[in-house]
Amino acid sequence: MIHSANSQVILLLCAYLGFSHQSELTPLSTREWNTVAKRLQANSIEPEALLHAESSWVSEILEHDQQLANRISGLLSRSGLLAIELERLESLGINVITRADESYPKRFKQRLKDSAPALLFYSGNADLLGQTGIAVVGSRNLDEAGKQCAEFIGNACGLSGLVLYSGGARGVDSLSMLAALEARGNAVGILADSLEKAIRTQDYRNYLASQELCLATPYSPSAPFNVGAAMGRNRLIYTLSDYALVIASDFEKGGTWAGAIEALKAKWIPLFALQHDYMPLGNKKLIERGAISFPHPFQGHYSELKAWFDSHSSSSGGMQEQLSLFQ
């Protein structure tokens, strides 16, 4: 995959790839990259100008932050190692897009603004990112009603042409994603870890090859699981979709609850929570805090699902203005 000069800079500065074992350098965080990008933009400078710049000039652009300028120079010097690692990933079927690329999901920029990830690794059909669809989230431990609803929503999305967005984890995520794919539909899984491992699994391999699935992550493709990453990816699932449905949530604990509360406060999209006689306490409390009830069992035909979500959505929360291309 050929990357523009601006994209190369973002990769060199922000990707956890291509470091020697002796290196003490760490990539820029999203917040640090935003600082650099805003200083460049304020001076009408494109990121590619950093590729051959002297450290003293970079320091001047960064308002005389010599420590950051030296770090940037060090990160930019690893182009050879990074190229080797990107070639290895591409041989596995993994590519990367950055905030400087036209193909970067516009909904991330519109809804997340400065907290939109600087880059996104993916395998499969990246054109699915941001297409009309429903985010389905929930805990790994499900009752029978939750299992039935996850499979129904996935199947309905597959049959009605809606993309099913989820996280690819065991439980709600995998049930709903596989139901959508088995119905000959499309799905997007935003992963918190182990993209390299996920693309090799029997469940997903054929769907990736047929371009019915996209698996993506803002983290290194070989990154192990950690709680912070899992929390961070939840907002990406919400902000890619048009509606979100919480199948099962604990109360005031866990990633499902935290992500749903953030989505309610941010008003990115209409948020629904599954309602039934034995629903988890978290679902009940989300509804009390503004989530819209989604009944189980759903009384309509699968083809009526999108119209039902539209008619019960009080507000989409409004779209925010897009950032500049490389921010």
Nearest Cα neighbor of 233 from 135, 320, 100 is 135
Mean pLDDT within 320-324 = 45
Q: Give the pTM.
A: 0.93
Helices 227-240 and 254-266 cross at an angle (nearest 10°) of 40
**pLDDT given for residue 317 in this prediction:** 45
Mean pLDDT within 155-174 = 95
CA dihedral 34, 39, 45, 50 (to 10 degrees): -70
**3-state SS string for 99-110:** CCCCCCCHHHHH
pLDDT at 166 over 70: yes
Mean pLDDT within 228-241 = 93
Alpha helices by DSSP H, listed for the chain, are 5-14, 30-42, 55-61, 66-76, 79-92, 106-112, 144-160, 172-182, 195-198, 202-209, 227-240, 254-266, 281-288, 305-312
Fold of 123-312: Rossmann fold (3.40.50)
pLDDT at 315 over 60: no
pLDDT at 324 over 80: no
Question: In this structure, what token pair is assigned to residue 112?
Answer: 């997340």
pLDDT at 88 over 50: yes
Instruction: Parse the chain into domains and list their residue ranges.
Output: 5-92, 123-312
pLDDT at 241 over 60: yes
Burial of 217 per CB tally in 10 Å (0-12, 13-18, 19+): buried
CA 210 to chain centre: 21
Mean pLDDT within 236-253 = 97
CA dihedral 116, 251, 245, 104 (to 10 degrees): 10
